[in-house]
Structure 1
Amino acid sequence: MNLTALLAAAALLAFRLPGQAQTRPKASALATDASTQGPVFPKEERAPAANFTGAVYVHPLVKDNATFNCVSSVSFEPGARSHWHTHPAGQILLVTDGLGYYQEAGQPVRLLRKGDVIRAQPGVKHWHGASPRQALSHIALNVHTEKGVVTWLQPVTDQEYNSYK
């Protein structure tokens, strides 16, 4: 997939900008539009079990390119999640489908829905994944990879994962 196609896909998902009110289509509208059902990108490689709990799949959106190797679609099966980790230059997550969780260390778990945008600040310890009963897909943008991509930490405990209120 080229960068133009990626930008077109992001535009179709109508991500909100900071300061804009969040608007979501009514559930009934989503249920009647088959084009909004299911993940935007296919599952591809199984993510390493050393860094994830449950079934997680990574689909690089720009393959065999040293400059733009930092954009992937990530799909989490229900209950699957990343381990705690940090990104030296930060990370942007664009939620493309499903329902999931995001948590920064010391903060409550946040619910993620299609269209949400997460900006994980550089060096901030966090995790993300699917809800217990519904899968989650997102595009992961790792920026300024010359500073490093990710530092993996310990698994998210069941108590941490189940703390969403």
Structure 2
Amino acid sequence: MSMSRSVLRHMVLAMVMSVVALGATAAENDHNQTVRNISEEKWVSAGAEHFTGNVQMRNAFAQVSPARSYGAYVRFEPGARTFWHIHPTGQTLIVTEGVGLTQSVDSNGNMGPVIEIKAGDIVVCPPGIRHWHGASENSSMTHLAMSERDPNKAVQWLDPVTEAEYKGAKK
């Protein structure tokens, strides 16, 4: 079976363009990108300043200015949770393991329901919304938390989620 000259010419051109593109990508990777394995990052205690219970954190990524995105894995033992807090640019959580809970307060001050979250769920919390998240009472939970740094305003940490709020809101 013979190929027309036109088809052959297009195939050769496509192969040459692929090789050129691969070379350009390799050069860009060598000079502009950072590749590291998450296993290089250690789990550290999140401490009691903004968390209730046993919470561990592991840095995932942090962009260099002018980029502002950053992320961390956060592992909550059963019953552990964040304090109420507000992210000026919003926050996205990707649950990677376990079962957790999250709750928010709308812009009018109305308390929303506690929502159960589990591995595979993605939680998007808009900018300026008061919320908390953590593990359920009987399961640990790990999520990748991602946000953007606002150079003018940091995360606003508020009061702890009380046991009554945590337990009462789940009914």
Normalised by the length of structure 1, the TM-score is: 0.70
1:164 aligns with 2:137: no
Judge which range, 80-89 or 143-152, deviates more. 143-152
- Aligned to 1:70, the other structure's residue is in SS state strand
Q: How many aligned positions are there?
A: 131
In structure 1, runs of 5+ residues without a counterpart are: 7-39
Name the CA shift for 1:108/1:43 in 2 (closer, same or farther; >3 Å): farther
Q: Superposed, which structure 2 residues align to 1:121-140 within 5 Å?
A: 121-140=126-145
Q: Superposed, which structure 2 residues align to 1:13-162 within 5 Å?
A: 44-62=43-61, 67=67, 70-105=70-105, 106-162=111-167
Report the CA distance between 1:143 and its aligned residue: 2.0
2:56·2:75 contact (CA, 8 Å) conserved in 1? Answer: yes
Name the CA shift for 1:3/1:156 in 2 (closer, same or farther; >3 Å): farther
Larger radius of gyration: 2
What amino acid is the match of 1:150? V
Report the CA distance between 1:150 and its aligned residue: 1.0
CA distance in 2, matches of 1:3, 1:160: 42
CA distance in 2, matches of 1:41, 1:93: 22
Match of 1:32 in 2: none
What amino acid is the match of 1:59? R
Measured on the aligned residues, the alpha-carbon RMSD in Å equals 2.7
**CA offset digits 1:81-128 (Å, max 9, x no partner):** 000000000000000000010000210100001111111111100000
What amino acid is the match of 1:109? V
Match of 2:19 in 1: none
Percent sequence identity is 37
- Aligned to 2:120, the other structure's residue is in SS state coil
CA distance in 2, matches of 1:164, 1:80: 14
Normalised by the length of structure 2, the TM-score is: 0.68
What amino acid is the match of 1:152? W
- Aligned to 1:123, the other structure's residue is in SS state coil
Give every structure 1 segment of 4 or more consecutive aligned residues whose post-TM-superposition deviation is greater than 6 Å.
3-6, 40-43
CA distance in 2, matches of 1:104, 1:41: 34
- Aligned to 1:62, the other structure's residue is in SS state strand
Report the CA distance between 1:69 and its aligned residue: 6.5
Name the CA shift for 1:92/1:64 in 2 (closer, same or farther; >3 Å): closer
Name the CA shift for 1:110/1:64 in 2 (closer, same or farther; >3 Å): closer
